[in-house]
């Protein structure tokens, strides 16, 4: 007859074989999945992105549980009850890690993410899930003191996989130089992925274009994640373009896809940066447009029509006054047609933006004068391509907190530009495509607070270019 001990041993062997079968099947599935559904840089369905966006919500749960397992195992050396809890926590970690991996894969596959860092993050997650399954299989023998090193080795390897995979995920979200960005230059050069590049030092691209792309675009279009097969983390990659072809056409900003995407309305499905990331500012867009118009070179140290102040820090903006009594009127204005006043941020003291894009052709000096009562609270006026004339400066000089003024594409000649001299907060002025002359802009050139002056496609630009050529 078979003894009870033999029967128990046979049952344990059967369960172990069954567990190994299931684990082997799961491992094969995890390893084969990325080869069947390749991350090819193409989007594969909004519903995948819908589900995949729950990946960041779920991923912190298995991370916390995995880190907790070795703590419980060590503490269990003196309190056995904690060691029993470790088994439950380990299984719960695996139960959460698998759907977390599935959601992450849906997000990458659905959104068309690709690139070295995305691939590393994916395979790191695969290795972590496999490591957790092997830990569950090896742990009973370790608890029974039949094997003394297999389980600790597997658990240690899983923790290393967790650290490495987490780092890759952080690089996707924040960029590859997130940890090294504020390191001293002498230290950063020791890290190949720290963002130090061979762009010509002191060039307009290195000083004003590359930093914008790094801050606003490279998280989705860098070495780690190259959506649409487009990388923007180096000049050569930028000029090479992506799966839709070239995104920069030197000398032709109107034909450059990159500029078209960043100037779309935020609600447009093709607007960039996507996924709620911080949009480019009007100044940054003007830099890119002027740089493309000038030939989009990597080496040019200046761009005709663009005057940028020195490297001194801009003074902190002064808070505007309390306009709470005007909020109902402002909100009504936002919901209707015509020019709008939009809060710069959720903080009221940051001021308002005057936007006229919907009524630009019919918005003239009289309409601008109608906003005088809001003048102390307006910090940016977007009057580009409107019908305003030189008479607008009489109203604009009352915008005492104005920091940015767009007048590009208007009919002004600059005869009254001197009235802006009283605006001590004004740091940005765009006069591109207007009829200003070298004489009319002389007064604003002398404004010490004005750091960004745009004059391309004007007589003032032509005079500036001629003066530069004669040197």
More confident of the two residues 3 and 190: 190
**Among 237-241, 301-305, 465-469, which stretch is predicted with the lowest mean pLDDT?**
465-469
* Average pLDDT of the segment spanning 280-288: 85
Q: Any residues with CB less than 8 A from the CB of 213 and at least 6 apart, and which?
A: 232, 233, 238
Q: What is the pLDDT of residues 199-250, one digit of tens each?
A: 566 788 888 898 888 777 877 777 656 777 788 878 888 898 887 789 999 9
Q: Tell me, what's the pLDDT at 181?
A: 59
CA 209 to CA 250: how far, in whole Å?
14
Q: Tell me, what's the pLDDT at 467?
A: 43
Q: If residue 405 lies in a helix (H) or strand (E), which one and from where to where?
A: strand 404-406
CA 374 to CA 361: how far, in whole Å?
22
Among 93, 75, 92, CA closest to 83:
75
Whether the predicted pLDDT of 333 surpasses 80: no
The full 3-state SS of 347-394, as one line of letters, equals CHHHCEEEECHHHHHHCCHHHHHCCHHHHHHEEEEECCCCCCCHHHHH
Distances (CA, A) of 373 to 136, 363, 469: 70, 17, 47
Both tokens of residue 433?
């495509």
4-36 and 116-143 helices cross at what angle (nearest 10)? 180
Both tokens of residue 408?
């590009």
Contact 302, 202 (CB under 8 A): no
Among 162, 464, 158, 110, CA closest to 290:
464
Fold of the domain built from segment(s) 324-469: 3.80.10
Q: Tell me, what's the pLDDT at 342?
A: 85
Q: Tell me, what's the pLDDT at 199?
A: 56
Q: What is the pLDDT of residues 429-446, one digit of tens each?
A: 999 889 999 999 999 988
End-to-end Cα spacing for the chain: 107
CA 181 to CA 268: how far, in whole Å?
32
Strands 428-430 and 452-454: parallel
CA 244 to CA 278: how far, in whole Å?
23
Whether the predicted pLDDT of 196 surpasses 60: no
* Average pLDDT of the segment spanning 178-195: 59
Q: Tell me, what's the pLDDT at 177?
A: 61
Q: Tell me, what's the pLDDT at 469?
A: 44
Q: What is the pLDDT of residues 92-144, one digit of tens each?
A: 999 999 999 999 999 988 887 777 788 899 999 999 999 999 999 999 999 98
% of residues, the chain, pLDDT over 70: 85
State the chain's mean pLDDT as an integer.
84
CA 18 to CA 12: how far, in whole Å?
10
Whether the predicted pLDDT of 192 surpasses 60: no
Using the Cα atoms of residue 322, residue 324, residue 329 and residue 334 in order, give the sign of their dihedral: positive
137 burial type by CB count under 10 A (0-12 exposed, 13-18 middle, 19+ buried): middle
Whether the predicted pLDDT of 256 surpasses 80: yes
Using the 8-state DSSP alphabet, how is residue 226 labeled?
A: B
More confident of the two residues 313 and 83: 83
Cα-Cα-Cα-Cα torsion 97, 122, 276, 279, nearest 10 degrees, comes to 150
CA 83 to CA 81: how far, in whole Å?
5
**Among 42-46, 152-156, 171-175, 257-261, which stretch is predicted with the lowest mean pLDDT?**
171-175
* Average pLDDT of the segment spanning 449-468: 72
Q: Can you say how many angstroms the Cα of residue 204 is from the centroid of all Cα atoms in its chain?
A: 22
CA 253 to CA 288: how far, in whole Å?
8
Q: Any residues with CB less than 8 A from the CB of 269 and at least 6 apart, and which?
A: none
- Residue 420 — pLDDT band, cuts 50, 70, 90? very high
CA 231 to CA 238: how far, in whole Å?
6
Q: Tell me, what's the pLDDT at 187?
A: 65
347 burial type by CB count under 10 A (0-12 exposed, 13-18 middle, 19+ buried): exposed
Give φ, ψ of 225 to 5 degrees: -140, 110
More confident of the two residues 277 and 387: 387
Q: Tell me, what's the pLDDT at 378?
A: 95
* Average pLDDT of the segment spanning 178-202: 58
Cα angle value 73/75/77 (rounded, 5°): 75
Whether the predicted pLDDT of 314 surpasses 80: no
More confident of the two residues 17 and 352: 352
**Among 222-226, 338-342, 410-414, 440-444, which stretch is predicted with the lowest mean pLDDT?**
222-226
CA 129 to CA 132: how far, in whole Å?
5
Both tokens of residue 262?
């960043």
| Residue 205: Cβ within 10 Å count | 22
Q: Tell me, what's the pLDDT at 468?
A: 41
| Residue 444: Cβ within 10 Å count | 21
CA 114 to CA 111: how far, in whole Å?
9
For residues 274-289, one letter each, b for 16 or more C-beta atoms within 10 angstroms of the residue's C-beta and e for the rest, the string is: eeeeebbebbbbbbbb
User: Domain coordinates of the chain in residue numbers?
Assistant: 4-174, 192-303, 324-469
CA 233 to CA 334: how far, in whole Å?
38
């Amino acid at each position: 007859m078979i003894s009870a001990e033999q029967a128990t041993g046979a049952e344990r062997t059967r369960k172990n074989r069954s567990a190994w079968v299931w684990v082997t099947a799961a491992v094969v599935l995890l390893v084969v999945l990325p080869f069947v559904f390749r991350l090819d840089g193409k989007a594969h369905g909004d519903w995948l992105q819908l589900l995949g966006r729950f990946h960041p919500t779920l991923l912190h749960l298995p991370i916390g549980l995995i880190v907790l397992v070795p703590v419980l195992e060590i503490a269990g050396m003196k309190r056995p009850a904690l060691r029993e809890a470790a088994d439950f926590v380990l299984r719960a970690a695996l139960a959460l890690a698998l759907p977390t991996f599935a959601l992450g894969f849906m997000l990458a596959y659905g959104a068309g993410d690709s690139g070295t860092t995305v691939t590393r993050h994916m395979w790191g997650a695969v290795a972590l899930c496999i490591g957790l399954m092997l830990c569950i299989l090896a742990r009973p023998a370790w608890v029974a003191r039949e094997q003394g090193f297999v389980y600790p080795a597997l658990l240690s390897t899983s923790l290393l996989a967790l650290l490495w995979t987490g780092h890759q995920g952080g690089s996707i979200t924040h960029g590859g130089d997130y940890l090294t960005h504020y390191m001293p230059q002498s230290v950063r050069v020791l890290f190949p992925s720290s963002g130090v590049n061979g762009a010509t030092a002191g060039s307009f691209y290195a000083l004003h274009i590359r930093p914008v792309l790094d801050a606003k675009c490279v998280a989705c279009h860098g070495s780690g994640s190259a959506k649409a097969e487009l990388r923007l983390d180096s000049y050569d990659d930028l000029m090479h373009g992506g799966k839709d072809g070239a995104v920069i056409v030197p000398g032709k900003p109107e034909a450059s896809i990159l500029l078209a995407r960043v100037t779309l309305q935020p609600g447009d499905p093709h607007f960039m940066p996507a996924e709620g990331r911080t949009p480019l500012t009007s100044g940054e867009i003007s830099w890119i447009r002027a740089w493309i118009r000038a030939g989009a070179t990597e080496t040019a140290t200046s761009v005709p029509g663009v005057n940028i102040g020195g490297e001194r820090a801009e003074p902190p903006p002064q808070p505007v006054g309390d306009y709470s009594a005007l909020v109902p009127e402002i909100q009504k204005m936002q919901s209707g047609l015509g020019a709008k006043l939009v809060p710069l941020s959720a903080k009221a003291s940051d001021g308002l933006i005057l936007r006229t894009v919907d009524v630009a052709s019919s918005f003239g000096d009289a309409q601008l004068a109608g906003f005088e009562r809001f003048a102390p609270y307006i910090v940016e006026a977007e009057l580009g391509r409107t019908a305003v004339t030189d008479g607008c400066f009489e109203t604009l000089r009352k915008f005492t907190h104005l920091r940015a003024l767009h007048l590009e594409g208007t009919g002004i000649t600059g005869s009254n530009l001197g009235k802006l001299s009283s605006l001590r907060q004004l740091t940005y002025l765009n006069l591109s495509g207007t009829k200003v002359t070298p004489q009319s802009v002389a007064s604003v050139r002398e404004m010490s607070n004005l750091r960004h002056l745009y004059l391309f496609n004007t007589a003032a630009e032509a005079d500036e270019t001629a003066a530069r050529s004669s040197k």
